[in-house]
Amino acid sequence: MPGMNPSFLLPRADRPTPVPAPGLKTQHDHVDEIAIALPIFVVEDDPSLTELLRSRLTELGFTTEATASGHAALSRLAVGSCALVILDLGLPDLDGAALLAVLRARGDATPVIVLTARDAIEERVAALAAGADDYVTKPFETDELVARIRAVLRRHDAHAKDTLRLGGIQLERPGGEVFVRGRRLQMAPREASLLEVLLSGARRVLYREAMMQAVFGDDEAGFNALEALVSRLRKRLAEVDAGIVIHTVRGVGYLATDDID
Rounded CA separation 40/57 (Å): 8
Distance in Å, CB of 46 to Ca ion, minimum: 6
Tally of CB atoms within 10 A around 158: 9
Distance CA 21, CA 14 (A): 21
Q: Which stretch binds Ca ion (CB under 5 A): 88-96, 135-143, 170-178, 217-225?
A: 88-96
Amino acid, res. 93: D
Q: List the interface residues with Ca ion, window 23-62 (CB under 5 A).
A: 45
If one counts every other C-beta atom within 10 angstroms of the C-beta of residue 257, the result is 19
Q: How far is CA 92 from CA 45, 68, 102, 197, in A?
A: 7, 8, 17, 39
Q: Which stretch binds Ca ion (CB under 5 A): 90-98, 134-142, 149-157, 209-217?
A: 90-98
Q: Which is nearer to Ca ion, 49 or 185 (CB)?
A: 49
Q: Which of 18, 80, 90, 189 binds Ca ion (CB under 5 A)?
A: 90
Interface size with Ca ion, residues (CB under 5 A): 3
95 binds Ca ion (CB under 5 A): no
Give 91 or 210: the residue with its C-beta nearer to Ca ion: 91
The C-alpha atoms of residue 121 and residue 113 are separated, in whole angstroms, by 15
Instruction: Pick the binder of Ca ion from 66, 87, 88, 200 (CB under 5 A).
Output: 88
Interatomic CA distance for residues 248 and 169, integer angstroms = 19
| Residues forming the site for Ca ion (CB under 5 A) | 45, 88, 90
